[in-house]
Amino acid sequence: MDFLQVLGHKALSRFASLGRATHMLLGALLSMPNFRKGTPLLIKQLYMVGYQSLLIIMVSGLFIGMVLALQGYTVLVGYGAEDSLGPLVALSLLRELGPVVTALLFAGRAGSALTAEIGLMKATEQLSSLEMMAIDPLKRVVSPRFWAGFISMPLLALIFSAVAIIGAHLVGVDWLGVDSGSFWSIMQSQVSFQQDILNGMIKSFVFALIVTWIALYKGYDCVPTSEGISKATTETVVHSSLAVLGFDFLLTAVMFSS
Considering beta carbons, is residue 73 or 220 the nearer one to another protein?
73
Considering beta carbons, is residue 164 or 237 the nearer one to another protein?
164
**HSE on the CB side for 102, CA within 13 Å?**
40
The CA distance from 73 to 178, in Å, is 9
Considering beta carbons, is residue 185 or 226 the nearer one to another protein?
185
Residues whose CB falls within 8 Å of the CB of residue 71, separated by 6 or more in sequence, listed in order: none
CB of 229 to another protein, least distance (A): 25
Backbone angles phi, psi at 35, to 5 degrees: -65, -35
CB of 141 to another protein, least distance (A): 18
The CA distance from 86 to 191, in Å, is 10
Work out the end-to-end distance of the chain between its first and last CA atoms, rounded to an integer number of angstroms. 46
CB of 40 to another protein, least distance (A): 7
CB of 163 to another protein, least distance (A): 8
CB of 42 to another protein, least distance (A): 9
Considering beta carbons, is residue 161 or 240 the nearer one to another protein?
161
Which residue type does 197 have?
Answer: I
Considering beta carbons, is residue 82 or 248 the nearer one to another protein?
82
* Contacting positions for another protein (CB under 8 A): 40, 43-44, 46-47, 50-51, 54, 79-84, 90, 94, 152, 154-156, 158-159, 161-163, 165, 179, 181-182, 184-189, 191-193, 196-197
CB of 219 to another protein, least distance (A): 22
Distances (CA, A) of 101 to 63, 157, 161, 244: 12, 8, 10, 10
Asked if 211 and 244 count as a contact pair (C-beta separation under 8 A), the reply is yes
Considering beta carbons, is residue 7 or 59 the nearer one to another protein?
59
Distances (CA, A) of 249 to 44, 75, 149, 253, 257: 34, 25, 22, 6, 11
